Structure 1
Amino acid sequence: MKKLAMAVLAISALTCSFNAFAQIQGPVAGPPLAGPAGPGPRPPLGAHGSNTHGLLAVNTLQGKFVKLQGNDDFVIDGFYILSSADSVLVKFPSHMGTQVSAIAKQNGQVTVSGVYENAGPGPKEMRLVSMTASGKTLTETPPASLPEPSQQSVVTGTGKVTSVQTDREGRINGLFVDNKTILRLPPHVATQLGNSAAKGTLISFSGSVREKQQGEVMLEDYKVVRCSTITVNGQQYLVR
């Protein structure tokens, strides 16, 4: 009897082990994983809207120079070219403004090499690599020397709001006041002001004046003040 009982226990243990082993499943077959050298499509190098690091495809355009373009501070940092009925905004570092404006003539022919910076529908924008106009060629280069830090001019003043300035996302980032002055404000501050700084509102301000850097050209002669304080309706505010 004792031997029979031991045999039954051995058979039971063997059966349980077999069932447990049968329930263990191997990995499900599927497509191979894509690693550094694995399969899978990759975006072409330099495709529109690709990362700004690594290899970027340079495209060349020929067309007619249309006009210069300035940034929010009215410093020239681009120009429009009309190529095959397409208008393209060519952007360049602002320190090249003097060089570009010297050779680019309205309605003159210009050849531009650069990298597209936007993808999808909408205005085309290209970052300048080199350009040829009026028989001269310019290549994008860093400033000859870094601008030396200078003491910023601190100004105070009072004026009436004539209009507002908006950034590319449509957010208010500045107030135009009389005497060709722009009060530069962060968008969240302009939102807080709301209708308090509507057209015709008398506003007092203090802040630092943006200094023109070497090589820059102003599209229009505005004084840009980065506000430290503003006073509206008798209430002074610290701008942060």
Structure 2
Amino acid sequence: MTNTVMTQALGEFIGTLILVILGDGVVAGVSLNKSKAQGAGWLAIALGWGLAVTLGVYASAFLGPAHLNPAVTLAFAISGHFPWAGVVPFIVAQMLGGFVGAVLVWLQYLPHWQATSDSAAILGTFATGPAIRKPLANFFSEALGTLVLVFMLLAFTKGQWTEGLAPIGVGALITAIGFSLGGTTGYAINPARDLGPRVAHAVLPIAGKGDSDWGYAWVPVLGPFVGGTIGALLFNLI
């Protein structure tokens, strides 16, 4: 691995870590008992995740392309915007960033886990889950959300941005997807955002946490990869 790839992969780790700290953090604040933000609802979560992605991009863009998402990395390689040699290092860094970010959220809210008896709420602070469990419909939701994400990100590469403002556009895109498409599955649209924290949920000593719902875990991993790939292929047809 070249120094350039290592530096860019470090950026992916840092950016994904920030993304998950702030994104899972807002869900924890809304969901866990005795949090001052408890009950703030979907509006807070969708806006919080949009800001989390924006700031994650700002935190890592000086080191590399700031994908912060394995589905985006794969899609950009398919579309010719990213070298294939960087795909595996980026995905590994993103997954690790997601895991470490979730561990830090656990530490931040340490007293609140014991105060929360709802195992579904606890899992929801780490990983996504469907509002109505219908695997094929849930898969479609994740694929469509990621298709929109990737198509728009590729469209952004063709436009002219005032220097430093592109991450705000990305955050607005994430917020829009959350408001419009996120109500069905919680819109992972990012395997690292879901799988890394889900592993953290599985290994962390949280009383009453329940299982990590591994039977559903394939949906927010494969759905984004498939949707992102289709988004890249469709964009290349233009």
TM-score (norm 2): 0.20
> Normalized per residue, which structure has more helix?
2
Larger radius of gyration: 1
Structure showing the higher strand proportion among its residues: 1
Relative contact order, higher structure (CA 8 A, sep 6+) = 2
Q: TM-score, normalised by structure 1?
A: 0.20
